[in-house]
Structure 1
Amino acid sequence: MPQANNQNQFVLCINNKEYQASLRIQKIYQIIFDFKASQYQMIRVVDESGEDYLYPSNYFIPI
């Protein structure tokens, strides 16, 4: 079971299909740990709007 920590975690966007207005390919985004979302292969990302939303986790790679 993944552990949440207080450090900032970031991912690199590698796909933005269906989310072109919210995500930019090759941009680094901060994520917020969400255990429930991870059970559904989703990730909580602070996107271009500055708010956090759920996106498919396979749209990102951890850095």
Structure 2
Amino acid sequence: MNQQFVICIDNAEYPASLERRKLYEVVPDADAEALGQVRVKDESGEDYLYPQELFVAVDLPSSTEKAVISAA
């Protein structure tokens, strides 16, 4: 598994779109990263760009990562 996940730590500018303390799957996007943004998937399966400072990256144990992905 090579998924990356982040947790939202600040949703003040996006209260309708992001939930604090929620785990989000990252969609790789080198152009967005170069601009200080991260692309994440929401509950609908759509992905959106947000400022990187709204999130912290998390490393999940392999078994947890598999469980999260299969639950999606």
Normalising by the smaller structure, the TM-score range is: 0.7 to 0.9
- RMSD of the TM alignment (CA)? 1.3
Q: How many residues align?
A: 58
Pairwise CA distance, 1:8: 1.2
Q: TM-score, normalised by structure 2?
A: 0.74
Q: TM-score, normalised by structure 1?
A: 0.84
Query: Counting strand residues as a fraction of each chain, which structure ranks higher?
Result: 1
Identity %: 48
Where does structure 2 lack aligned partners over 5 or more consecutive residues?
59-72
The structure having more radius of gyration, on CA atoms, is: 2
Pairwise CA distance, 1:10: 0.3
Query: Counting helix residues as a fraction of each chain, which structure ranks higher?
Result: 2
Where does structure 1 lack aligned partners over 5 or more consecutive residues?
1-5
